[in-house]
Amino acid sequence: MLSVNVRVRPCLSEGSRIMDLLNRLITGFFKLLLWPLAPLPPIWALAVVSVFAGALMVWIFGRVSRQEQIRGIKDRIRGNLFGVRLYQHEIGVVLRLQKQILGDTMRYMALSVAPMLVLLIPMSLIMVQLNLHFASRPLRPGEQAIVRISVADAALLSRPISLKADRSFIVETPPVRISSDKQAAWRIRAVRPGHHSLKVQIGDQEIEKALDIGNDWRAVSSLRTVSWLDSLLYPSEPRLDRRAGIRAVEVLYRPLPLQVLGWSVDWLVFFFIISVAASFALKGVFGVQF
């Protein structure tokens, strides 16, 4: 029997193995960073990470941008704006000053493009990891969930299909095959807290998928897939081997509840607001202009 799991990863391409290794290293690093915050409610942990991300943005922007030129351009814009107010009744002077303001604004934007592109790399990595930790929560003991697989060829669904249960969860239904969508699904019930794995078998192919059960918040991987793009968004598990014919295994977790003053908030919106506010609040501390 061919086992399509971590043991067959040498069958994957060199690029896939490198990507899996990078994903494991980055995910492990973020788990280590977030470990001291585990006792906190998730909204407070997310706030701490957001402030740290804002500080990191300011520091990186200050290192990769041309600060002297930005400072000079901003000073000229402020001076010309003052001139517009001072000579507002002299149309010729005002038009000349506005032309200079427009030119300086375009130069300022040009100086900001490259640093912003550089910032996209660390910020994308941070947001992927935050999605892993704050988008979903583990299943509660006794809670039900759907496990879903997608296949490359609907003919695979005609083969014997099973979801192997252990003492961590119970499989409550037989597989429901949806040939038109090339999918099959089961309903499970969580039993034992912890970080577990479930096994899906189609014919002689077997796929493992992480399953998290507990009352805490932690990194939760809802999807394991063959797609390199999805593996960037769900980095904690290695990609599947395409030759198995199974394109994805998914556990439909519930969203992690995050509340601010009684209002439910999305983690991405909260992160964006707090990180941007922190970056503006800390730019003076780092002596950065933007």
| Mean pLDDT confidence for 17-36 | 82
Answering whether pTM is above 0.95, one says no
Q: Are 182 and 154 in contact (CB under 8 A)?
A: yes
Whole-number Cα distances in Å, 224 to 105, 148, 195, 227 = 46, 11, 15, 9
Helix (H) or strand (E) holding 227: none
What are the structural domains, with CATH classification, of the chain? 2-13+139-254 (2.60.40.10), 52-134+265-286 (no CATH)
Report pLDDT digits (tens) over 46-65: 999 999 999 999 999 888 88
Q: Are 235 and 132 in contact (CB under 8 A)?
A: yes
Report pLDDT digits (tens) over 217-265: 999 999 998 887 777 788 888 888 887 788 999 999 999 999 888 889 9
Which residues have C-beta within 8 Å of that of residue 164, sequence separation ≥ 6?
198, 199, 200, 201
Q: In whole angstroms, what is the distance from residue 104 CA to residue 83 CA?
A: 15
Q: In whole angstroms, what is the distance from residue 167 CA to residue 278 CA?
A: 46
